[in-house]
Structure 1
Amino acid sequence: MNITATHINLYHVCRRELWLHANGIRMEHTSDVVAEGKLIGELSYPERAERYTEIEIDGVKIDFYDARNKVVHEVKKSDGVENAHIAQVKYYLYKLQQHGVVDATGIIEYPKLRQRELVELKEEDINAIKGWEADITDIVSANTCPPVIHSRICRRCSYYDFCYVGEAID
């Protein structure tokens, strides 16, 4: 299996969504939240496409990479810094390192917060990432979908209707 940064992100958010996504059940096209995120990314930093390169390594796509300064730029629409975002950027840095780009860093930009989060890859992160990859492989290759997580984030998820069909809404 070719693990992508999306898998890493979903692993940290919802194992059920990870399994559904990896097994070809996609709902993102129906989500206003996903569309809003793409729009914020495009409108917040319109000059990015001209200044930075989009690269793909082992199926992992990095939208904005500053090769000269070895910096990955990631834009998130969220109004909070999330562990899943940091894990995703660490995975980008890990993939770059596997291909000979050492000492790269990442910057996650949150336009809504007017905040930036610096991300670095440390030795202990590499061991953690290897564990994430093993867990992801196990999760997505399982015959059954993980259970609903019943989290506050579920209501804004593009899979909400799928996960809660037939359940009473409180």
Structure 2
Amino acid sequence: MSGLHVQYYIVCKRKLWLYAKNINLAPENDKVMEGAILHERAYRQIKERDIHIDNQIQIDAMDKYYVREVKNSSKMNEADRWQLLFYLYELKKRGVEKKGLIQYTKEKKTQEVELTHEDIARLDKMMNEIEQIIDCVQPPKFVKKRYCPNCAYHDFCFAGEESE
């Protein structure tokens, strides 16, 4: 399980399932390419950046006090926050305790994130639910959301599906 699994769980259970089944339509998506460029240009002044741990955690940057993530906008704030909390939790399990910072470049704002005991309990429950979704043979039912038009899976989901 990775941070993207947690992010997609918050955003859309169907997107989570598709991603977990390696149905990856995202590389050609404009928003995904924009995010990749932003990621490449961010945090150049920080020595520890683009950190990969156990094929599970992919951190944009880390300094003495913070795990840092950069995002274009705060439209997916809740999903961004839980993704970062997942990273903080996984690091804590490995003996590394830090706070988190999410930098939203379009709004020129930063959000500090701190892992709590309540967050850990919710993450444990969330990870169990993510595993259950991934183990399903069929994708979760299509649920139309406000951000569907910008999703890389838009055409897949809208091909012959009826919304709830």
TM (norm. structure 2) is 0.91
Gaps of 5+ in 1: none
Please tell me whether the aligned partners of residues 59 and 67 of structure 2 are also in contact (alpha carbons under 8 angstroms): yes
What's the offset of the Cα at 1:118? 0.1
Task: Tell me the equivalent position of 2:21.
Answer: 23
What stretches of structure 1 move > 3 A for 4+ residues in a row? none
Q: What residue in structure 2 maps to residue 36 of structure 1?
A: 34
* SS of alignment partner, residue 116 of structure 1: strand
Closer, same or farther: CA 128–37 of 1 in aligned 2, 3 Å: same
**How far 1:79 moved relative to its partner?**
4.5
SS in structure 2 of the partner of residue 64 of structure 1 = strand
SS in 2 for 1:149: coil
C-alpha distance in 1 between matches for 2:23 and 2:76: 27
Q: How many residues align?
A: 161
Change (3 A) 1:46 1:73: closer
1:101-154 CA-partner distances (Å, limit 9, x unpaired): 12x001000010000000000011111000010000000000110111101100
Instruction: Report the equivalent of 1:140.
Output: 134
Change (3 A) 1:167 1:55: closer
Distance apart, 1:58 and its partner CA: 3.1
Amino acid of the residue matched to residue 117 of structure 2? E
Q: Secondary structure at the match of 1:78?
A: coil
CA RMSD of aligned residues (A): 1.7
* Partners of 1:53 and 1:65 within 8 A in 2: yes
Counterpart AA for 1:34: V
